[in-house]
Amino acid sequence: MMRGLFLSILVPVLLRADARPALSGEERTNGEQVLKEVTPMLPEARSACAQVVDATGGVLASAVWVGADGYFLTKASETPEIEKGRIRWEAAKSAAIREIKRLPEHDLLLAQAVGVADVKPVVFDVASPLPEYGEWMAAPVKGGGEIRIGVISARARGIPGLGAAMGIRMDEKPGRSGVRVLSIAEDSPAGAAGLQGGDVILKIDGEAVADFKAVHESIKKRQPGDQVQVTYRRKDKVEVARVRLASRTRIMMNWEGEDFANGGISVRTDHFARVLQHDLPLSPEDMGGPLYDLRGRALGINIARVDRVTTFALPAGVFWKQVAPLIEADRHPPRAIRP
Amino acid sequence: MRSSLKHLFSRLLFCVGAAGVLSAGAVHGESEKVSYAELQKVQGRVRELFAKVRPAVVAIQIGNGTASGVVVNESGLVLTAAHVAETPGREVRVVLDDGRKVKGTTLGLDKTTDAALVQLHDTDRRWPFAEIGRTVVRVTPGDWCFALGHPGGFDKERGVVLRVGRVIRHTANSLQTDCVLMGGDSGGPLFNLRGEVIGIHSQIWEARDHNMHVSMAPFLRSWEEMKNSLVIRVWGTGSGGFLGASVDVNAAGRVEVLQVLEGSPAKTVGLLAGDVVESLDAREMRSVTQFSNAIRARAAGDEVMLKIQRGSSTQAIRVRLANRPKEDEG
């Protein structure tokens, strides 16, 4: 658990006595008036963006086109079974998805939209130095429908990973069988999968767990975004829950719902070689989309919505050298050499 | 914690709805369109000022919590939020921009407006500091501004966190901006584009645009008292009188009393829910803002004449405004 953080929640009296008219919604930093000025300058930002949706049409993540023939990158940990879903762009178009490769070190997934030949891919800027404190950034949201702006708000840096977690507190005293769950974190993978305090965990992915250490070890070696099957006993019934793990950091920071993030946090928020941090008002579903500066240079991919003030983006230099050859290799699979 | 937040939210939504404040379609009058050139100018100015003011921004560790603050003079006086300091005379650990740790002591505070001072111990050192914006009225909705602070606590790798936005609202003691804040930012500075401190981060509400900062008004008003470690619990006469009635505009467009607080001047003179306030000192009342400002514009102890319509009768009621009670929220 973390230290207390000071910032209180608003008391209504402060809003009550207006001395002067307030700034209307359109005039705010991300209001229509400002965006109307910025959006026309970034046509590529919108056309390079798409959305990955699940079988029922729910948005899982954003995506960025990296090849005119339908190659795209998205956020791996938000798209576990991507081939069951579809990719959607320009409001009406959609296609089936072929998964090519997951890059767990970047939380990226390379895939292709099946039968697509005419999308407008991004051209990443890998040569320019990384943007610094105070530089305006822009990103498409809602699959390219709109643009948001903000600034680089902290130093570019690596984010260490503390592994994955379900968000449960366990009884350290061994029971007759299995491990008793004491409590569940707010907005946690365990809670989302239906686990409750009092449940007794018997197996993880079919393997019996004797004590809390066994559960801990089993979870620790996995990645945020991975799914595990948890077999548990509630009262006298044995049931199975599918839990999609999240970053340990994310769960510890938000154990009691302190985070207050407006629209949620990404499943994986850590373990990145290098990130840019910015203050754009984005949502977890916007992750996987491209990040631009106001000159229209594509600098990277938004990769994690972390909290109310923080979004991380991967600079293109971190992943593009790895991704470009994968696309080439997929386009031209090696043929058997003739004797 | 979560459940209490939820509770607070529903209460807040109710209160705000009743007061008709957030829904009031106030429009910012003569603003100009924001051009690309202006955004570029803002970027240039913010980057230049950020480098200059950054060394004055500190993290404050107190008890088990972490917050922010800003040094405002060479001898190490720090502005922060009252809910961070809590009481005068507490020792706090202060982390400077470069990660060095020093000590300080909380001085006075104004609990009603959330303003507080901290003195760093080594007063002979020439501390890097930021200037205070002394002309509080100059802060205008639409002004560009930037927030600095240590959300989540000091992190040397990350550094201080910058957010750029615009002033949304300027009230008697506070500012609202769209510079998004979170836990740990409390006490951190809001700067104008002249590099002056115009606000101290105080509170948030659920929406991303609901970021509240104490303006410099309470600091400047009670500067000497706070430096002398006094706890200011009631608003001085400068911040206006108190009636103790909440009002809203009714369907007929008139200012109607919703609720009368126990022990308030409004209660004493027999104001009732449902009364319509036709005028205050012969000035016709047409909006909640106008009424609320008229009360605040007068000092505690002043008498005002309210013309009230109750049912079909009209009556004049003379009422003496009081000081705001402790912990007053209405």
pLDDT in tens, B179-194: 999 989 999 999 999 9
Tokens encoding A105:
């070190």
Judged by CB atoms closer than 8 Å, whether chains meet at A309 and B81 is answered as no
Residue with tokens 């998964």: A99
pLDDT digits (tens, 9 = 90+) for A9-42: 544 444 444 456 789 999 999 999 999 989 988 9
Residue A299: inside a domain: yes
pLDDT digits (tens, 9 = 90+) for A72-87: 999 999 998 999 999 9
Judged by CB atoms closer than 8 Å, whether chains meet at A9 and B8 is answered as yes
pTM, whole model, 2 decimals?
Answer: 0.78
pLDDT digits (tens, 9 = 90+) for B102-125: 999 999 999 888 999 999 998 888
Tokens encoding B111:
């609990």
Judged by CB atoms closer than 8 Å, whether chains meet at A12 and B81 is answered as no
Rounded to a whole number of angstroms, the distance from the CA of A225 to the nearest CA of chain B is 24
How many H helices and E strands in chain A? 7, 23
**What local confidence, expressed as pLDDT, does residue A186 receive?**
81
**3-class SS string, B9-51:** HHHHHHHHHHHCCCCCCCCCCCCCCCCHHHHHHHHHHHHHHHH
Interval B237-264 mean pLDDT: 81
Cα separation of B320 and B329, whole Å?
A: 20
Rounded to a whole number of angstroms, the distance from the CA of B270 to the nearest CA of chain A is 23
Kindly list the residues from chain A whose CB atom is less than 8 angstroms away from the CB atom of residue B29.
21
The nearest alpha carbon in chain B to A276 belongs to B158
Cα separation of A73 and A108, whole Å?
A: 6
**What local confidence, expressed as pLDDT, does residue B242 receive?**
84
pLDDT digits (tens, 9 = 90+) for A90-127: 988 999 999 999 999 999 999 999 999 999 999 999 99
A276 and A200 belong to one structural domain: no
Cα separation of A207 and A189, whole Å?
A: 20
pLDDT confidence tier of residue A260, bands split at 50, 70 and 90: low
Most confident of B7-16, B172-181, B223-232, B245-254: B172-181
A188 and A315 belong to one structural domain: no
A85 and A117 belong to one structural domain: yes
A152 and A87 belong to one structural domain: yes
A142 and A175 belong to one structural domain: no
Q: Which domains does chain B have, with CATH numbers?
A: 29-232 (2.40.10.120), 237-320 (2.30.42.10)
Tokens encoding A24:
């209307």
Residue A257: inside a domain: no
Query: Collapsing DSSP states into helix, strand and coil, what is residue B103?
Result: strand
Kindly list the residues from chain A whose CB atom is less than 8 angstroms away from the CB atom of residue B90.
none
The nearest alpha carbon in chain A to B34 belongs to A34
Residue A15: inside a domain: no
Return the bridge partners of A103, or none.
A108
A218 and A287 belong to one structural domain: no
Query: Collapsing DSSP states into helix, strand and coil, what is residue A308?
Result: coil
Judged by CB atoms closer than 8 Å, whether chains meet at B204 and A7 is answered as yes
Between A45-54, A163-172, A324-333, the lowest mean confidence (pLDDT) is in A163-172
Residue A252: inside a domain: no
Cα separation of A266 and A270, whole Å?
A: 10
A153 and A41 belong to one structural domain: yes
Residue with tokens 């016709």: B284
Q: A203: domain range? A: 164-247
A151 and A40 belong to one structural domain: yes
Kindly list the residues from chain A whose CB atom is less than 8 angstroms away from the CB atom of residue B330.
13
Give the ipTM of the model, two decimals please. Answer: 0.87
Give me the amino acid identity at A92: A
Rounded to a whole number of angstroms, the distance from the CA of B116 to the nearest CA of chain A is 14
Kindly list the residues from chain B whose CB atom is less than 8 angstroms away from the CB atom of residue A2.
152-153
Where a domain ends, among A211, A231, A247? A247
Please answer whether residues B329 and B239 qualify as being in contact, where contact means their C-beta atoms are separated by less than 8 angstroms.
no
A94 and A130 belong to one structural domain: yes
Residue A256: inside a domain: no
A284 and A220 belong to one structural domain: no
- Of the CA atoms within 13 Å of residue A334, those in its CB half-sphere come to 4
Q: What mean pLDDT, rounded, does chain A reach?
A: 89
Give me the amino acid identity at A45: A
Chain B touched by A11 (CB under 8 Å): yes
Total number of domains in chain A: 2
The nearest alpha carbon in chain B to A312 belongs to B158
A109 and A215 belong to one structural domain: no
Chain B touched by A40 (CB under 8 Å): no
A174 and A214 belong to one structural domain: yes
Is the pLDDT at A1 greater than 60? The verdict is: no
Strands B65-71 and A4-5: parallel
A133 φ, ψ (degrees, to nearest 5): -35, 125
Is the pLDDT at A220 greater than 60? The verdict is: yes
Is the pLDDT at A267 greater than 80? The verdict is: yes
**What local confidence, expressed as pLDDT, does residue B18 receive?**
22
Tokens encoding A220:
């620790």
Where a domain ends, among A181, A212, A247? A247
Residue A288: inside a domain: yes
Nearest to A20 among B19, B141, B173 (CB): B141
